[in-house]
Copies of this chain bind each other. A is one copy, B any other.
Amino acid sequence: MGYTRMDVYSFLKAVREKRPLVHHLTNWVTIYDCAQVVKSFGASPVMAHAPEEVAQMVGLASALVLNIGTLTADFIESMKIAARAASCRNIPVVLDVCGAGATAFRDRKSSELLEDKHISIIKGNSSEIARIAGWDVRTRGVDAAHVGADLHKIATALARQRNCTVVITGKEDIITNAKTTYVVRNGSEILTHVVGTGCMATSVIGTFTGASPHDITAAAAAGLSCYEIAAELAVKKSSGPASFKQHLFDCIFHLTKDDVDFMQRVA
Protein backbone atom coordinates (compact mmCIF):
# COMPACT_ATOMS: atom_id res chain seq x y z
CA MET A 1 0.00 0.00 0.00
CA GLY A 2 1.43 3.37 -1.04
CA TYR A 3 0.97 6.68 0.75
CA THR A 4 -1.46 9.19 -0.70
CA ARG A 5 -0.54 12.86 -0.58
CA MET A 6 -3.46 13.65 1.69
CA ASP A 7 -3.24 17.33 2.55
CA VAL A 8 -2.62 16.68 6.23
CA TYR A 9 -1.24 20.13 6.84
CA SER A 10 -4.46 21.86 5.83
CA PHE A 11 -6.13 20.19 8.81
CA LEU A 12 -3.41 21.39 11.17
CA LYS A 13 -3.75 24.87 9.73
CA ALA A 14 -7.48 24.79 10.38
CA VAL A 15 -6.84 23.91 14.04
CA ARG A 16 -4.41 26.76 14.48
CA GLU A 17 -6.65 29.28 12.75
CA LYS A 18 -9.98 28.30 14.29
CA ARG A 19 -8.63 27.40 17.73
CA PRO A 20 -11.61 25.14 18.49
CA LEU A 21 -12.81 24.84 22.07
CA VAL A 22 -12.72 21.13 22.89
CA HIS A 23 -14.93 20.13 25.81
CA HIS A 24 -13.80 17.01 27.68
CA LEU A 25 -15.37 14.64 30.12
CA THR A 26 -12.36 12.44 30.64
CA ASN A 27 -10.49 10.39 33.19
CA TRP A 28 -8.57 11.71 36.21
CA VAL A 29 -5.28 10.03 35.29
CA THR A 30 -4.41 11.80 32.06
CA ILE A 31 -6.70 14.82 32.23
CA TYR A 32 -3.80 17.29 32.32
CA ASP A 33 -2.12 15.78 29.29
CA CYS A 34 -5.39 15.73 27.37
CA ALA A 35 -5.75 19.46 28.03
CA GLN A 36 -2.12 20.23 27.22
CA VAL A 37 -2.11 18.34 23.94
CA VAL A 38 -5.11 20.37 22.76
CA LYS A 39 -3.41 23.57 23.87
CA SER A 40 -0.09 22.62 22.27
CA PHE A 41 -1.84 22.26 18.93
CA GLY A 42 -3.10 25.82 19.34
CA ALA A 43 -6.66 24.99 20.33
CA SER A 44 -8.49 25.50 23.62
CA PRO A 45 -9.40 22.73 26.08
CA VAL A 46 -12.08 22.86 28.75
CA MET A 47 -12.89 20.15 31.26
CA ALA A 48 -16.29 20.22 32.97
CA HIS A 49 -18.51 17.40 34.15
CA ALA A 50 -21.20 18.71 36.50
CA PRO A 51 -24.61 17.67 35.13
CA GLU A 52 -25.88 21.20 35.80
CA GLU A 53 -23.46 22.77 33.33
CA VAL A 54 -22.27 20.28 30.72
CA ALA A 55 -24.98 21.13 28.19
CA GLN A 56 -24.22 24.84 28.42
CA MET A 57 -20.46 24.25 28.17
CA VAL A 58 -21.03 22.10 25.09
CA GLY A 59 -22.86 25.11 23.68
CA LEU A 60 -19.55 26.97 23.54
CA ALA A 61 -17.53 24.08 22.15
CA SER A 62 -16.58 22.85 18.69
CA ALA A 63 -16.10 19.22 19.72
CA LEU A 64 -16.84 16.94 22.65
CA VAL A 65 -14.42 14.29 23.92
CA LEU A 66 -15.69 11.50 26.18
CA ASN A 67 -13.24 9.10 27.82
CA ILE A 68 -14.40 6.41 30.23
CA GLY A 69 -10.98 5.68 31.77
CA THR A 70 -12.09 6.32 35.38
CA LEU A 71 -15.82 6.14 34.84
CA THR A 72 -18.50 6.10 37.49
CA ALA A 73 -22.25 5.73 36.97
CA ASP A 74 -22.81 9.45 37.68
CA PHE A 75 -20.04 10.51 35.35
CA ILE A 76 -21.62 8.54 32.51
CA GLU A 77 -24.92 10.32 33.13
CA SER A 78 -23.13 13.65 32.64
CA MET A 79 -21.62 12.27 29.45
CA LYS A 80 -25.09 11.40 28.16
CA ILE A 81 -26.34 14.93 28.77
CA ALA A 82 -23.27 16.39 27.08
CA ALA A 83 -23.48 14.03 24.11
CA ARG A 84 -27.14 14.88 23.54
CA ALA A 85 -26.36 18.60 23.61
CA ALA A 86 -23.45 18.13 21.21
CA SER A 87 -25.58 16.08 18.86
CA CYS A 88 -28.22 18.84 18.76
CA ARG A 89 -25.50 21.27 17.71
CA ASN A 90 -24.01 18.85 15.17
CA ILE A 91 -20.51 19.03 16.63
CA PRO A 92 -18.32 15.90 16.62
CA VAL A 93 -18.52 13.61 19.65
CA VAL A 94 -15.51 11.35 20.16
CA LEU A 95 -15.81 8.42 22.57
CA ASP A 96 -12.69 6.71 23.90
CA VAL A 97 -13.85 3.30 25.13
CA CYS A 98 -10.86 3.13 27.45
CA GLY A 99 -10.72 -0.22 29.22
CA ALA A 100 -13.68 -1.75 27.37
CA GLY A 101 -13.24 -5.47 27.60
CA ALA A 102 -11.71 -5.27 31.06
CA THR A 103 -14.95 -5.20 33.04
CA ALA A 104 -18.62 -5.78 32.30
CA PHE A 105 -19.35 -2.33 33.73
CA ARG A 106 -17.23 -0.66 31.06
CA ASP A 107 -18.83 -2.72 28.33
CA ARG A 108 -22.33 -1.91 29.57
CA LYS A 109 -21.71 1.83 29.95
CA SER A 110 -20.04 2.02 26.53
CA SER A 111 -23.10 0.35 25.04
CA GLU A 112 -25.42 2.78 26.77
CA LEU A 113 -23.48 5.71 25.34
CA LEU A 114 -23.61 4.17 21.87
CA GLU A 115 -27.31 3.31 22.07
CA ASP A 116 -28.10 7.01 22.42
CA LYS A 117 -26.74 7.43 18.85
CA HIS A 118 -24.89 10.70 19.53
CA ILE A 119 -21.35 9.37 19.08
CA SER A 120 -19.54 10.43 15.88
CA ILE A 121 -16.27 8.57 16.45
CA ILE A 122 -15.53 5.48 18.53
CA LYS A 123 -11.84 5.22 19.39
CA GLY A 124 -9.89 2.52 21.19
CA ASN A 125 -7.03 0.09 20.98
CA SER A 126 -7.45 -3.25 19.24
CA SER A 127 -9.03 -5.22 22.08
CA GLU A 128 -11.22 -2.34 23.23
CA ILE A 129 -12.72 -1.89 19.77
CA ALA A 130 -13.00 -5.64 19.21
CA ARG A 131 -14.94 -5.90 22.46
CA ILE A 132 -17.27 -3.04 21.48
CA ALA A 133 -17.78 -4.77 18.15
CA GLY A 134 -19.00 -7.83 20.04
CA TRP A 135 -15.92 -10.04 20.08
CA ASP A 136 -15.13 -12.11 23.13
CA VAL A 137 -11.79 -10.55 24.06
CA ARG A 138 -10.48 -9.36 27.39
CA THR A 139 -8.57 -6.07 27.65
CA ARG A 140 -5.75 -6.17 30.20
CA GLY A 141 -6.78 -3.16 32.27
CA VAL A 142 -6.31 -0.42 29.72
CA ASP A 143 -3.62 -2.18 27.68
CA ALA A 144 -4.49 -3.89 24.41
CA ALA A 145 -4.73 -7.66 24.40
CA HIS A 146 -4.16 -9.77 21.31
CA VAL A 147 -7.12 -9.97 18.98
CA GLY A 148 -7.05 -12.96 16.71
CA ALA A 149 -8.93 -11.33 13.86
CA ASP A 150 -8.60 -8.80 11.04
CA LEU A 151 -8.76 -5.36 12.64
CA HIS A 152 -9.78 -3.73 9.38
CA LYS A 153 -12.83 -5.95 9.17
CA ILE A 154 -13.72 -5.32 12.80
CA ALA A 155 -13.43 -1.55 12.38
CA THR A 156 -15.46 -1.51 9.18
CA ALA A 157 -18.19 -3.71 10.61
CA LEU A 158 -18.48 -1.56 13.73
CA ALA A 159 -18.54 1.66 11.69
CA ARG A 160 -21.38 0.25 9.60
CA GLN A 161 -23.27 -1.09 12.60
CA ARG A 162 -23.04 2.15 14.59
CA ASN A 163 -23.14 4.47 11.57
CA CYS A 164 -20.07 6.35 12.74
CA THR A 165 -16.32 6.58 12.29
CA VAL A 166 -14.18 4.01 14.08
CA VAL A 167 -10.54 4.52 15.05
CA ILE A 168 -8.27 1.68 16.17
CA THR A 169 -4.89 2.93 17.35
CA GLY A 170 -1.83 0.74 17.42
CA LYS A 171 1.32 0.19 15.45
CA GLU A 172 -0.78 1.32 12.53
CA ASP A 173 -3.95 3.29 13.11
CA ILE A 174 -7.10 2.39 11.24
CA ILE A 175 -9.65 5.14 10.67
CA THR A 176 -12.78 4.20 8.81
CA ASN A 177 -16.39 5.22 8.26
CA ALA A 178 -17.05 1.93 6.40
CA LYS A 179 -16.86 3.76 3.08
CA THR A 180 -13.46 5.44 3.30
CA THR A 181 -10.57 3.98 5.27
CA TYR A 182 -7.31 5.66 6.23
CA VAL A 183 -4.27 3.96 7.69
CA VAL A 184 -1.73 6.06 9.59
CA ARG A 185 1.73 4.59 10.00
CA ASN A 186 3.45 7.43 11.79
CA GLY A 187 4.47 7.14 15.43
CA SER A 188 7.03 5.44 17.62
CA GLU A 189 7.19 2.42 19.84
CA ILE A 190 7.98 4.66 22.81
CA LEU A 191 4.37 5.86 22.84
CA THR A 192 3.51 2.52 24.45
CA HIS A 193 5.76 3.29 27.42
CA VAL A 194 4.07 6.57 28.28
CA VAL A 195 0.81 6.71 30.22
CA GLY A 196 -1.85 8.74 28.45
CA THR A 197 -0.68 8.69 24.85
CA GLY A 198 -3.87 6.89 23.84
CA CYS A 199 -6.05 9.38 25.69
CA MET A 200 -4.14 12.24 24.10
CA ALA A 201 -4.73 10.71 20.66
CA THR A 202 -8.46 10.93 21.37
CA SER A 203 -8.16 14.58 22.38
CA VAL A 204 -6.24 15.22 19.17
CA ILE A 205 -9.08 13.66 17.20
CA GLY A 206 -11.50 15.95 19.02
CA THR A 207 -9.34 18.94 18.20
CA PHE A 208 -8.95 18.18 14.51
CA THR A 209 -12.56 17.16 13.92
CA GLY A 210 -13.67 20.27 15.83
CA ALA A 211 -11.75 22.41 13.36
CA SER A 212 -12.81 20.40 10.28
CA PRO A 213 -16.26 18.99 10.98
CA HIS A 214 -17.09 18.63 7.27
CA ASP A 215 -15.01 15.44 7.04
CA ILE A 216 -14.35 13.97 10.45
CA THR A 217 -12.86 10.75 9.13
CA ALA A 218 -10.15 12.58 7.19
CA ALA A 219 -9.68 15.05 10.04
CA ALA A 220 -9.17 12.22 12.53
CA ALA A 221 -6.56 10.61 10.27
CA ALA A 222 -4.80 13.94 9.71
CA GLY A 223 -4.76 14.65 13.45
CA LEU A 224 -3.28 11.27 14.28
CA SER A 225 -0.65 11.71 11.59
CA CYS A 226 0.38 15.12 12.97
CA TYR A 227 0.46 13.84 16.55
CA GLU A 228 2.58 10.87 15.59
CA ILE A 229 4.91 12.89 13.38
CA ALA A 230 5.57 15.03 16.44
CA ALA A 231 6.24 11.80 18.33
CA GLU A 232 8.80 10.77 15.71
CA LEU A 233 10.54 14.13 16.06
CA ALA A 234 10.37 13.99 19.85
CA VAL A 235 11.79 10.52 20.29
CA LYS A 236 15.02 11.59 18.64
CA LYS A 237 15.59 14.15 21.39
CA SER A 238 14.54 11.90 24.27
CA SER A 239 16.31 9.75 26.80
CA GLY A 240 13.25 7.88 28.05
CA PRO A 241 9.46 8.05 28.43
CA ALA A 242 9.29 11.24 30.50
CA SER A 243 11.65 13.35 28.43
CA PHE A 244 9.81 12.00 25.39
CA LYS A 245 6.49 13.29 26.66
CA GLN A 246 7.97 16.72 27.26
CA HIS A 247 9.49 16.86 23.79
CA LEU A 248 6.23 15.60 22.31
CA PHE A 249 4.36 18.67 23.57
CA ASP A 250 7.14 20.98 22.43
CA CYS A 251 7.33 19.36 18.98
CA ILE A 252 3.55 19.57 18.57
CA PHE A 253 3.74 23.27 19.40
CA HIS A 254 6.39 23.87 16.73
CA LEU A 255 5.18 21.42 14.06
CA THR A 256 5.71 22.92 10.59
CA LYS A 257 4.19 22.40 7.20
CA ASP A 258 7.47 20.88 6.04
CA ASP A 259 7.49 18.37 8.91
CA VAL A 260 3.96 17.33 8.08
CA ASP A 261 4.27 17.28 4.31
CA PHE A 262 7.49 15.33 4.40
CA MET A 263 6.79 12.82 7.13
CA GLN A 264 3.11 11.92 6.82
CA ARG A 265 2.44 8.26 6.23
CA VAL A 266 -1.27 8.09 5.56
CA ALA A 267 -2.62 5.52 3.14
Contact = CB atoms under 8 A, between A and B. Distances in A.
Interface of A: 21, 23, 27-33, 35-36, 39-40, 44-50, 52-53, 56-57, 60-61, 69-73, 99, 102-106, 138, 140-143, 193-196, 238-243, 245-251, 253-254
Given A105-B56, A140-B21, A240-B249, A30 B32 contact: yes
Contacts of A71: 50
A241 B103 contact: no
Contacts of A248: 242
Contacts of A250: 238-243
A60 B249 CA distance: 33
A44 B140 contact: yes
Given A46-B102, A49-B72, A53-B105, 15 more contacts: A28-B31, A32-B195, A40-B240, A46-B99, A48-B103, A50-B73, A50-B105, A52-B73, A56-B104, A60-B102, A60-B138, A60-B140, A240-B254, A241-B250, A242-B247
Contacts of A105: 50, 52-53, 56
Contacts of A104: 53, 56
Contact of A48 (B49, B50, B60, B99): B99
B246 A39 contact: no
Nearest to A143: B44
A121 B57 CA distance: 26
